[in-house]
Structure 1
Amino acid sequence: MHSTTNPPPLPGARPLLDPAAEYKRWITERPLDRITLWGDLHPWLVTRNEDARAVLSDPRFSSENVRPGFPGLQPTTPPRTPGQLFAMDPPEHTRLRRMLIPEFTFRRVEQLRPAIRRVAGELLDRFVEKGQPADLVEHFTLPLPLLTICELLGVPYSDRDFIHQQASAFATVSAGPEAMRAGWAALFGYLQELLAAKSRAPEDDLMSRLATERVATGEATPAEAAGLAVQLLIAGHETTASMLSLGAVALLRHPDQLTALRADPALVPGAVEELLRYLTVVHIGLRRIATEDVEIGGVTIRAGEGVVIALQAANRDPAVFADPDALDFTRDAGPHLAFGHGLHHCLGQSLARAELQIALPMVFHRLPGLRLAAPAPEEFAFEGRAVHGTRELSVAW
C-alpha cells in the first residue's frame, strides 16, 4: 500500500488503444489504494472488475458531486443544474431516468437502425467523393453519432456544428472549469429554447415527447427536461465517435480479427462487445463518495472518502479475462464495464451498440482497401478529455 501522504497521481495520458501502463501493475500490486487527484484530495482507486462492480452497485456510494470531498474532475465544485443524472442519487435519479427509459428500449432502437444505415451510407458516399487521403473522424466517425442523437432528440440538422462545439468544450477537462461550465450552459440554454418550440409545435422526437408528456403534465420542469437532453447529447455522441475511430484503428492493427469479421458477419455483435472492453474510451474513471463506512476488497472505505473506478483497468482484469491485452472476437466479453454498472449504467447503450454494429462493418465493406494514410504510433492520443479518442484519422483506400 502507498502512503496517503504521497500517493501517485491518476494517469493523464494513455496510449492510443491501451490503458495507461500503470494500471497493469496496479491491478495486481495495489488493486485498491490511494491516488492523488488535485491538492490534498486522495481518493481510493478501484482497478479490479469485482471491486468495481461492488462499488457501482452499492447504494452507500453516492454520485452527488456537490458532496464535500467528492473526487470530481476539477478542484472547484461544479454548479448543480437540473437533469444531471450522472450526479444524482435515488429517488431523484430514479424519477428522471424513468422518463427516458421508453426512448431507449430495444424495440425503439431497432426502429432506428434503418435511419442509422441511411445516414452512415450517405456520409460514406460523401467521404469517398472527397477523394483520398481524407479524415475519417471529421467526415464519418464524428458526424454519424452526432446526427443520430440529434435526429433522436429532434435537433435541427443546421445546428449540429454548434452542438458539437459546445459538447466538446464541456468534455475537455484541461480547458478548465469555466470553459466546461460555459459549454454545458450553452447547450442547456439552447435546449430550453428547443423544448419551448417543441411544446408549441410537437413532432415525432424525444424533445417533443418530453415537452408534451413530461413537462406539460408536471412530471418534470422545463429545466429538468433540458438538462436530461444535454446529458444525452454529450454522452450520445462523444463516446460513440471515439469508439468508431479507435475501433477502425484496432481492426487495422489486428488484421487477423478483421479477416475473421469479414468472413463471418455473425461475429459482429461479439466483436463490438470485445472492442468496447478492449478500448474503454471513458478513461477518467467513474467517481463516487462513500456515505458510510464500506468494506470493498478487504479495505474499509470510510464515510466521506472518494472513490475513482478505473473502468479501463477493470476491463483488462486478468481474473476475469484470459489474456486481457489481446483483442479476441471469439471471447465472451460479457462481463465488461464499458457502459458502467448498477443504477447509473449507460441508458443509451443499445443505441451505441447499434451504431457500432452498423457503422464499423459498413466502413470496411465499402472501403475494403482502407489503411492509415500516415503512421499512427500514438500521435493521435490526447489527454485532458473525459473521453479518450483521436482528433483526426487520415486514411486512404
Structure 2
Amino acid sequence: MDRTTLLDPPTAYARLREESPVSRIAVWGGNTPWLVTRHEDARAVLADPRFSSENIRENFPGLQPTPPPRTPGQLFAMDPPDHTRLRRMLIPDFTFRRVEELRPVIRTLTDSLIDDLMAKEPSRADLVEHFTLPLPLQVICELLGVPYVDREFIHRQAAAFATVTDGPEAMRAGWAALFGYLSELLAAKTADPGDDLMSRLATDRVATGEATAAEAAGMLVQLLIAGHETTASMLSLGAVTLLTHPGQLTALRADPALVPGAVEELLRYLTVVHIGMRRIALEDVEVGGVTIRAGEGVVVSLQAANRDPRAFPDPDTFDITRDAQHHLSFGHGPHHCLGQSLARAELQIALPALFQRLPELRLAVPAEEFALHGRAIHGVSELLVTW
C-alpha cells in the first residue's frame, strides 16, 4: 500500500480497520495471509503462542517468496523454548538500570554530534548523515563492543538486509556479511574479553556451552541491525514531525516534563516498523470474529493498530500530551522489543537536545520532497535542514 504523506500510514488501513479488520491480503506467489488492523486484535495475536514466528514454515508470510536460510540466533524467527533460552542471555544488558547507566554516554555523543553540526558553514546539513544515523549506531556499537570505525560497512550491510525492494539475495548477502564479521569479533573477544555484551556472551555463554558461537553471532547481528536502524528512523521522522507541528514543539521546549510522553506519542504516531509483524497459525484460532485456520499466515499491522480510534481517540492528531503508552510500536508478547528502554533513552535525550541547542532548526526543503529509503523500517534517505 502506498503512502500519501510522509508521516501517515496508507489511507486504506483506516477503511479496512472499520469495514474488515481481519481481512485477506495477497503478498506473493498466491500466498493470502490475514491482515489484522485493530489494536485489540493485534495485541491478542502477538501474545498468543498458537501463532508461530518461525519464518521457514510453509506459507509463512515473509517479505520475500523464498524463505531466508535459517541462521542460528535469529530471535525474530524463533519460538520457545529456544527463543526463551537465548533471549534470557541478553536481558541483563538491556535492563532499565543498565540503560540508565548509559544515559551519560548518550548525552556526550549527542552533544558532540551537535557541536559538529553547529560548527558547519554554511548552517545546512543532512541530519541523517550527521546526527540521526551516527548517534544510535555509535551507541549500539558501544554496548555490543563493536568497533565504530567499521560503521560504513555495518550500515551498508544492515541496510541491505532490511531492504524490501532489492530482493532476497541482497537480504541474504547483508545478513551473511554481518554474521561473518561478528563471528570473527566474537572469537577475538573469547581470547581478549572487554566490558561489553559481546565479551559477556563469549565468556559466560559460549565458553560454558550455554550457547553456540553461531547462536551468539546471530543474536549480535540482530541487535546490531535493529539497534540502530529503528532509532535512526525515529530520530529523523521525529524531527520532521516536531518541525511540522510547531505548536507541539513550542510546548515541548517550554516544559521538559513533557519529553517522556512526547516520545511515546512519536512512537505511536510514526510506527516506523511498517511492514507488520508476521506469524503463522499452529492451530485454528478465532481473531476478531474470524477463524484463522492452522497453517494460515497473519500480518499484524502495527501502524494500523496504533491509529485505531478505539485505543487512541482522534488517532490521526499528533498530541504530545496524550497517554500513548499502550502503543504497539515495540511489538507485544514474547517478541516485544528487547531494546525498547535503550531506544526511549536515545529519543528522550537526542531530540530535546537538538531543538534546545539549535533553536532555529528548520527543514531546508518541504517534507513531501524527502525520499524514502525502501527498507523494512520506514524512513528517509536524507533529511536536509538549516538553522
TM-score range, shorter chain: over 0.9
Name the CA shift for 1:83/1:14 in 2 (closer, same or farther; >3 Å). farther
Which residue of the partner structure matches residue 15 of structure 1? Answer: 5
The two structures have a TM-score, normalised by structure 1, of: 0.96
Does 2:69 correspond to 1:70? no
SS class of match (1:391)? coil
Does 2:41 correspond to 1:41? no
Unaligned runs of 5+ in 2: none
Which residue of the partner structure matches residue 137 of structure 2? Answer: 146
* 1:259 corresponds to which of 225, 250, 269: 250
1:240, CA displacement in angstroms?
A: 0.2
Residues 371, 382 of structure 2: 8 Å contact kept: no
* 1:357 corresponds to which of 348, 355, 370: 348
Deviations 1:66-104, CA, capped at 9 Å, x for gaps = 000000000001100000000000000000000000010
| Aligned positions of 1:224-303 closer than 5 A | 224-303=215-294
1:383, CA displacement in angstroms?
A: 6.2
* 2:119 corresponds to which of 119, 123, 129: 129
| Aligned positions of 1:272-351 closer than 5 A | 272-351=263-342
SS class of match (1:45)? strand
Does 2:377 correspond to 1:384? no
Residues 38, 304 of structure 2: 8 Å contact kept: yes
Q: Distance in 1 between matches of 2:3 and 2:216?
A: 35
Q: Distance in 2 between matches of 1:225 and 1:253?
A: 42
Q: Distance in 1 between matches of 2:4 and 2:162?
A: 17
Name the CA shift for 1:93/1:216 in 2 (closer, same or farther; >3 Å). same
1:25, CA displacement in angstroms?
A: 1.2
Does 2:152 correspond to 1:161? yes
Residues 132, 232 of structure 2: 8 Å contact kept: yes
SS class of match (1:338)? coil
Does 2:360 correspond to 1:369? yes
Residues 272, 357 of structure 1: 8 Å contact kept: yes
SS class of match (2:367)? coil
Q: Distance in 1 between matches of 2:139 and 2:229?
A: 12
Q: Distance in 2 between matches of 1:47 and 1:106?
A: 31
Unaligned runs of 5+ in 1: 1-10
SS class of match (2:54)? coil
* 1:32 corresponds to which of 14, 22, 26: 22
Q: Distance in 2 between matches of 1:127 and 1:141?
A: 12
Which residue of the partner structure matches residue 386 of structure 2? Answer: 396
Deviations 1:254-288, CA, capped at 9 Å, x for gaps = 11110110111000000000000000000000000
Aligned length: 386
Which residue of the partner structure matches residue 223 of structure 1? Answer: 214
SS class of match (1:329)? coil
Q: Distance in 1 between matches of 2:154 and 2:373?
A: 22
Q: Distance in 2 between matches of 1:54 and 1:137?
A: 36
1:376, CA displacement in angstroms?
A: 1.9
The one-letter amino acid of 1:229's match is L
Which residue of the partner structure matches residue 94 of structure 1? Answer: 84
The one-letter amino acid of 1:109's match is V
Does 2:161 correspond to 1:199? no
1:38, CA displacement in angstroms?
A: 0.9
Residues 289, 306 of structure 1: 8 Å contact kept: yes
Q: Distance in 2 between matches of 1:381 and 1:36?
A: 26
Residues 56, 67 of structure 2: 8 Å contact kept: yes
Which residue of the partner structure matches residue 105 of structure 2? Answer: 115
The one-letter amino acid of 2:296's match is E
Which residue of the partner structure matches residue 174 of structure 2? Answer: 183
Residues 281, 297 of structure 2: 8 Å contact kept: yes
SS class of match (2:118)? helix
1:239, CA displacement in angstroms?
A: 0.4
Which residue of the partner structure matches residue 51 of structure 2? Answer: 61
Q: Distance in 2 between matches of 1:384 and 1:294?
A: 33
The one-letter amino acid of 2:202's match is A
1:381, CA displacement in angstroms?
A: 4.6
1:128, CA displacement in angstroms?
A: 1.8
SS class of match (1:42)? coil
SS class of match (1:173)? coil
The one-letter amino acid of 1:254's match is H
Deviations 1:213-267, CA, capped at 9 Å, x for gaps = 1001110000000000000011000000000000000001111110110111000
Residues 32, 297 of structure 1: 8 Å contact kept: yes
